[in-house]
Amino acid sequence: KQEVTQIPAALSVPEGENLVLNCSFTDSAIYNLQWFRQDPGKGLTSLLLIQSSQREQTSGRLNASLDKSSGRSTLYIAASQPGDSATYLCAVRRGAGNNRKLIWGLGTSLAVNP
Amino acid sequence: DGGITQSPKYLFRKEGQNVTLSCEQNLNHDAMYWYRQDPGQGLRLIYYSQIVNDFQKGDIAEGYSVSREKKESFPLTVTSAQKNPTAFYLCASTRQGGEKLFFGSGTQLSVL
């Protein structure tokens, strides 16, 4: 059974710091992995999607890596800003053809302090 | 701008009452989903629909019902059979064959 874990549950850093959020999964047979951002009381916004054949994806100050063999993905945020404060969730897709097979982590709540 | 609109933002349910959450999208997406989010738990899939007039149960469909009469709309009814309905409900969509999920802003349902 696939399980997705995000550690730490909460993180507080000063503005400008580079930081890494972690996502671990127990079954390496994944189709893809997505990182999302959720602001308090709001919906989720997709940040990056990494296919199983890829090693990393980049968007602006964000870089997500995937290591299937170790069951781990990291989301790197460069030069963090107070506007980056949010909860970051990762989700693993188990198979092709059906988006419902997403297994979600509980998220890491990030606070970037001015 | 295209997107997903959920309404209302806050909803209160009385004992024994059915309530309906609205989800409308103008992204021309074929697939739509309903998720439930509870503190300390990952998102859980309630129902999903890949095409008009067709939908399938997710992992926690008991006590919920949906319809998909139009491509743009996928309302969720929380029935009186759902004994623990307090949660944040999220609607999402994807284009046909797509993998990127687009979410609405959510509805917080509470019990009076």
For B17-50, the pLDDT digits (tens) are 999 999 999 999 999 999 999 998 889 999 999 9
- Cβ(A103)–Cβ(A91) under 8 Å? yes
Residue A100 pLDDT more than 60? no
| pLDDT score, position A95 | 75
| pLDDT score, position A1 | 84
Band (pLDDT 50/70/90 cuts) for residue B112 is confident
Separation CA A15–CA B36 (nearest Å) = 33
Q: Do A34 and B100 touch (CB under 8 A)?
A: yes
| pLDDT score, position A4 | 96
| pLDDT tens profile A32-71 | 999 999 999 999 999 999 999 999 999 999 999 999 999 9
**DSSP for B22-35, written as a single string:** EEEE-S--SEEEEE
| pLDDT score, position A72 | 97
% of chain B at pLDDT higher than 70: 99
Q: Tally C-beta pairs within 8 A across A and B.
A: 54
| pLDDT score, position A22 | 97
Q: Do A99 and B102 touch (CB under 8 A)?
A: no
| pLDDT tens profile B64-88 | 999 999 999 999 999 999 989 999 9
Instruction: Nearest chain A residue to B95 by CA: give it.
Output: A99
Residue A104 pLDDT more than 80? yes
**CB < 8 Å to B60, chain A:** none
